[in-house]
Amino acid sequence: MAKHIIIIGGGIVGVSCAYFLHKAGHQVTIIDQSKMSDGASYINAGYMSPSHLIPLAAPGVMKQGIKWMFNKKSPLYIKPRLNADFLKWSLAFNKSCNQNHVHRSISVMREMAVMGRDLYHQIKKEEGFSFHIEKKGLLMLCQTEKALYHEDELVQIASKEGLQAKTIMAQEVQKMMPETVLDIVGASYFECDHHSTPGEFMEEIKSYLLREGVVIRQEEKVLDITTAGSKITSVHTDKEVLTADEFVLAAGSWTSTLSRKLNINLLLQAGKGYRIQTKTATGITYPAILAEAKVAITPMNGFTRFAGTMEIAGINHTINKTRVEAIAQGVNKYFPEVHITEQEKEAAACGLRPVSADGMPYIGKSAKCDNLTIATGHAMMGWTLGPSTGKLVQEIIDNKTSSVVLDMLHPDRKF
């Protein structure tokens, strides 16, 4: 039976939910507080990465994060602060950084990532979209033998999960990109990964949704949520009061603020990431992550994008020039002939990624609210997992068998 569904949040997860719910015959409205033209869904590295099997909460991550607190250029920065939500999240995140959690997460991450990657291609084919997407894999470039050894371990894990991956030496990488100079000892090569130009997909799917009758309310902020019993009856924005049969909360880093109005306490922190880009020829023709520097490089449609850092310092969009400089220096260290200009650094942008307390998304219905489905907490995997999350949300609302076992993603899970 067709329902009226309100989706709060218009990033990659929100528009993906709208797409699949509309295709299933529902009447859909998206509400987003922004102009839906910037943020994490637009400034990310554009990867569809089944290779990213290991959740952010992994052994040693919190320990490394504490060490990096004193390094302003570190890839991961966790700003200490006396805030109850942050402290609860920190304790739970630290507790999740164990091998058992990683082992349990791998198959779920693989299934969702492969599904998400393939759905981008399916959407492009079915709707006749023209957005840029390529099947060139992903290189993890290493400057040290230690990093290469670690990457080889990940290659073995990926291979056991049925993904195409191998370890290659510097000479082979140089042959793949003969028009640039590399300073590396080798790389892991995940042939299973694809990449895209995010802004193109976002603009194309928004246009499609509008043509199909989906209502998109931009620059409209949800202020309150009214309930009766265990159901939402309406949402109050800064412009109007809206009613619906079902609601989807996909507001990224802002989701926990709204969920608290329903007494649903999601452990969630905003993780800021930065991007720089250049239209100057770089010779970089394959997506690559600089293993030690934690910088992602993507050859997009007409430009090269450099993205990096995970800065957990609350919800803010302040550009930290020191961290932007660290990205630029990291690129030059691996690619000595690639120089990012001052103008390009000045034009850097940032976006906030919602990070759960175990690095796994929150997808599902809380026991506290019958007609709400939550979809957030994807950390750095939002772009990869956006379409698969949208499909899973549609299956949940339509009471269909889920394409992925959702136990590890339940929003009421304990830490």
- pLDDT per residue over 133-164, tens digit each? 999 999 999 999 999 999 999 999 999 999 99
| Predicted local distance difference test score (pLDDT) of residue 74 | 82
Assigned domain for 94 exists: yes
Q: For the chain, what is the domain count?
A: 1
b/e per residue 90-127 (b: at least 16 CB within 10 A): bebbbebbeeebbeebbebbbbbbbbbbebbeebbeee
Mean pLDDT along residues 304-315: 93
Mean pLDDT along residues 78-96: 90
pLDDT reading at 69 higher than 80: no
Assigned domain for 415 exists: no
Name, of 54-58, 215-219, 316-320, the range with top average pLDDT.
215-219
Q: Mean pLDDT of all residues in the chain?
A: 95
b/e per residue 370-401 (b: at least 16 CB within 10 A): ebbbbbbbbbbbbbbbbbbbbbbbbbbbeeee
| Predicted local distance difference test score (pLDDT) of residue 76 | 84
| Predicted local distance difference test score (pLDDT) of residue 80 | 83
Q: Taking Cα atoms as reference points, which of 210, 229, 306, 313 lies closest to residue 271?
A: 313
Assigned domain for 394 exists: yes
Mean pLDDT along residues 22-36: 98
Mean pLDDT along residues 246-253: 98
> Residue 116 is part of which domain span?
4-409
Assigned domain for 159 exists: yes
Assigned domain for 32 exists: yes
Instruction: Read off the pLDDT band of 373 (50, 70, 90).
Output: very high
Instruction: Please answer whether residues 271 and 241 qualify as being in contact, where contact means their C-beta atoms are separated by less than 8 angstroms.
Output: no
b/e per residue 186-209 (b: at least 16 CB within 10 A): bbbbbebbbbbbbbbbbebbbebb
| Predicted local distance difference test score (pLDDT) of residue 60 | 82
Instruction: Find the CATH number of the domain harbouring 84.
Output: 3.50.50.60
Mean pLDDT along residues 87-102: 93
Assigned domain for 414 exists: no
pLDDT reading at 281 higher than 90: yes
Mean pLDDT along residues 221-245: 97
Mean pLDDT along residues 186-197: 98
pLDDT reading at 79 higher than 80: yes
pLDDT reading at 99 higher than 90: yes
Tokens 């850092």 locate to 309
pLDDT reading at 113 higher than 90: yes
Our measurement of the distance from residue 227's CA atom to the centroid of its chain's CA atoms, rounded to an integer in Å, reads 30
| Predicted local distance difference test score (pLDDT) of residue 67 | 73
The span from the CA of 295 to the CA of 172, in Å, is 21
Assigned domain for 71 exists: yes
